[in-house]
Amino acid sequence: MDLLNTLVDKGLRRVPPTRGEALAVLATSDDDLLDVVAAAGRVRRHWFGRRVKLNYLVNLKSGLCPEDCSYCSQRLGSKAGILKYTWLKPDQASEAAAAGLAGGAKRVCLVASGRGPTDKDVDRVSETIRTIKEQNEDVEVCACLGLLSDGQAERLRAAGADAYNHNLNTSEATYGDITTTHTYADRVDTVQKAHAAGLSACSGLIAGMGETDEDLVDVVFSLRELDPDSVPVNFLIPFEGTPLAKEWNLTPQRCLRILAMVRFVCPDAEVRIAGGREVHLRSMQPLALHLANSIFLGDYLTSEGQAGKADLEMIADAGFEVEGTDQVTLPEHRAGGCRTGEGGGCASASAASATSAASPASEAGEPRTDLVAVRRRGAGTDLAPNA
């Protein structure tokens, strides 16, 4: 396929595809799917070899959120029967983190529901970061606390945070359809604050909310312009009790095409398969490792994930290896500063864009409500975590 040869060549040189090329990846047929995976896999292996980075989520504060994000089980007015608790103490968070690290995780992601942290919340999380780092050598810590105010990113960095996550989630044009209590520009501002403070920026998307192919391409090109080091790709978990509970728009094949498109647009970024992989990729999860170089181990914020042991077996069986703490995740040219290079990095990707035709209708996935399970173990409970 000429398209795939072109995309591989561009990916190896960090040259962005055109919008038309990115849309064409999403429009490929199931007959061509393995060719798409093989092509994107070449780009993935060029920059990241066969390593898989493991990340572990610790939900510091669950539920009780004043925001109205339609996809979220912790949202204002959610009827989902999730765990609800206020802030974990630093030792509790460190104990939860240690379970994930013992399972092979290299990065701990500290997440708290809410619009954004108060200064007191930043003090609390800073103490948690210091406790985790004191008790666990070589761990990376990423904070995800919502919208940041001036100076808060710098304080988190001073406390030892390595990264900050704040996802764009969907295109700017459709953002108002899923959230009304803050704006797309608010999210962009927080990612930029993290960058400016010297934190490794982590920002991604959620697929499966009823968006078009154009929306998916728009948000991924916007992410490329923001230049995060990590791009988490979430697949909507349609929780009962949320406005998007009936949105079952994904198939395993579509998920793989989305991951391939993200890899071609962000060839040298850490692409992470995040929430929903078990629900939507199902038995195709091993193929996704040829596209993404990072996954979450075990459970998510409010839902159960695949058993940690099964994650490790899947990685080994697929011929990949868990990335060690002594290995550097990102390519050398992405280490700090403006990540410029031949056709890539901080330069706007939109200059290479081309106008595309309307996207085909996305395939509808068969609802698998049996695979959506609320987390009842780990942080905020007396039960051992899944790691």
Residues marked active site are found at 65, 69, 72, 109, 142, 202, 272
DSSP result, 165-184? E---BS-GGGHHHH-SSS-H
Return the beta strands (E) in the chain as ranges: 51-61, 107-112, 140-144, 163-165, 200-202, 205-207, 230-235, 270-273, 294-296, 321-322
| Both structure tokens of 28 | 């490929």
Q: Which residues contact 29 (CB under 8 A, 6 or more apart)?
A: none
The answer to whether the beta carbons of residues 204 and 223 sit under 8 Å apart is yes
Encode 347-356: b = buried (16+ Cβ within 10 Å), e = exposed.
bebeebbeeb
- Residue 66's nearest CA partner among 179, 170, 151, 177 is 179
Q: Which of 174, 114, 180, 108 is nearest to 148 (CA)?
A: 114
Phi and psi at residue 152, to the nearest 5°? -70, -40
Q: What long-range pairs does 364-368 form, CB within 8 A, spacing at least 24?
A: 364/248, 364/249, 364/251, 365/248, 365/249, 365/250, 365/251, 365/254, 365/280, 366/248, 367/238, 367/248, 368/248, 368/279, 368/282
Cβ atoms of 252 and 288 closer than 8 Å:
no
**Phi, psi dihedral angles at 201 (to 5 degrees):** -80, 140
